[in-house]
A and B are shown apart, each in its own frame.
Chain A
Amino acid sequence: MRIIDINCMIGAWPSRQSHYKEIDDLFLDMDRYRLSDCIAFHSMALWSPERGNLLIKQMSENSSGRIKPCYILEPNLGSSEMPCADELYIQLKEEKPVAVRLYPNLKQFRVDDFYCGELLDVLSELEMPVIFEADQTPGFDYLPVLAKAYPRIKIIILRHGFRESRYIIPMLKKINNVYFDTSIMVDTGIIEEIVNEYGSEKLLFGSGLPSFPPTGAISLILYARIKNEDMGNILFKNWLRIEDGIQCK
Chain B
Amino acid sequence: MQIVDEAFNGMPITAPVIDAHTHILEYYHSGWYQSFTTNKDIIAVMDHIGIDCIVTAPHSLILGDMEYTNKIAAEATEEYPGRIFAYISIIPHEGIEAVKAALYKYSKNERFIGLKFLPGYHGFLAGIEYDYALDFAAEIGCPVLCHIWENSPSLLDVERAAKSRPDLKLMMAHQGGGNADCSDAYAKLMSIYPNLYMEICGSLFNQYSMEQLVELASEDRVIYGSDLINLDPRYDFGRVVFSTLDDRIKKKILAENFLHLISGSKMGHICLKHEV
Same complex origin of A and B: yes
A residues less than 8 Å from B45 (CB atoms)? 189, 225
In this complex, the member of A164, A166, A190, A212 whose beta carbon has the largest number of chain B beta carbons within 10 angstroms is A212
Contact assessment for B32 and A222 in the assembled complex, using a CB-CB cutoff below 8 Å = no
Q: CA separation between A71 and B234, bound complex, in Å? A: 33
Assess whether A142 is interfacial by the CB under 8 Å rule: no
Interface string of A98-117 (1 = CB under 8 A from B): 00000000000000000000
Q: CA separation between A166 and B31, bound complex, in Å? A: 8
Contact assessment for B33 and A163 in the assembled complex, using a CB-CB cutoff below 8 Å = yes
Name the residue of chain A whose CB is nearest to the CB of B208.
A213
Contact A188:B8 (CB < 8 A) given known A216-B204, A218-B242: no
A residues less than 8 Å from B234 (CB atoms)? 216, 219-220, 223-224
Q: CA separation between A223 and B233, bound complex, in Å? A: 10
Name the residue of chain A whose CB is nearest to the CB of B36.
A189
Contact assessment for A219 and B31 in the assembled complex, using a CB-CB cutoff below 8 Å = no
Q: CA separation between A225 and B234, bound complex, in Å? A: 11
Name the residue of chain A whose CB is nearest to the CB of B26.
A188
Q: CA separation between A192 and B35, bound complex, in Å? A: 8
A residues less than 8 Å from B229 (CB atoms)? 188
Contact assessment for B232 and A188 in the assembled complex, using a CB-CB cutoff below 8 Å = yes
Contact assessment for B8 and A34 in the assembled complex, using a CB-CB cutoff below 8 Å = yes
Assess whether A47 is interfacial by the CB under 8 Å rule: no
Assess whether A79 is interfacial by the CB under 8 Å rule: no
Contact assessment for B239 and A213 in the assembled complex, using a CB-CB cutoff below 8 Å = yes
How many B residues touch the partner, as a band? 35 or more
Assess whether A33 is interfacial by the CB under 8 Å rule: yes
Assess whether A176 is interfacial by the CB under 8 Å rule: no
Contact assessment for A165 and B33 in the assembled complex, using a CB-CB cutoff below 8 Å = yes
For A220, give its contact among B30, B35, B235 (CB under 8 Å): B235
Contact A218:B36 (CB < 8 A) given known A163-B30, A186-B204, A223-B49: no
B residues less than 8 Å from A17 (CB atoms)? 180, 207
Q: CA separation between A189 and B235, bound complex, in Å? A: 11
Contact assessment for B8 and A190 in the assembled complex, using a CB-CB cutoff below 8 Å = no
A residues less than 8 Å from B231 (CB atoms)? 186-188
Contact assessment for A216 and B203 in the assembled complex, using a CB-CB cutoff below 8 Å = yes
Assess whether B88 is interfacial by the CB under 8 Å rule: no
A residues less than 8 Å from B10 (CB atoms)? 222-223
Interface string of A190-223 (1 = CB under 8 A from B): 1111000000000000000001111111111011
Assess whether B34 is interfacial by the CB under 8 Å rule: yes
B residues less than 8 Å from A193 (CB atoms)? 35
List the interface of chain A (C-beta within 8 A of B).
17-18, 32-34, 162-166, 184-193, 211-220, 222-225
| Other A-B pairs, 19, CB within 8 Å; known A18-B207, A222-B10, A225-B45 | A162-B204, A163-B30, A185-B232, A186-B235, A188-B232, A213-B210, A213-B239, A214-B242, A216-B203, A216-B204, A216-B235, A216-B236, A219-B241, A222-B7, A222-B8, A223-B10, A223-B237, A223-B238, A225-B48
Would you list 29 pairs from A and B whose C-beta atoms are within 8 A, ordered by A residue?
Answer: A163-B33, A184-B204, A186-B231, A187-B35, A187-B231, A188-B33, A188-B230, A188-B233, A189-B45, A190-B232, A191-B232, A192-B35, A212-B207, A213-B209, A214-B242, A215-B209, A215-B238, A215-B240, A215-B243, A216-B242, A219-B7, A219-B237, A219-B242, A220-B234, A222-B7, A222-B8, A223-B234, A223-B238, A224-B234
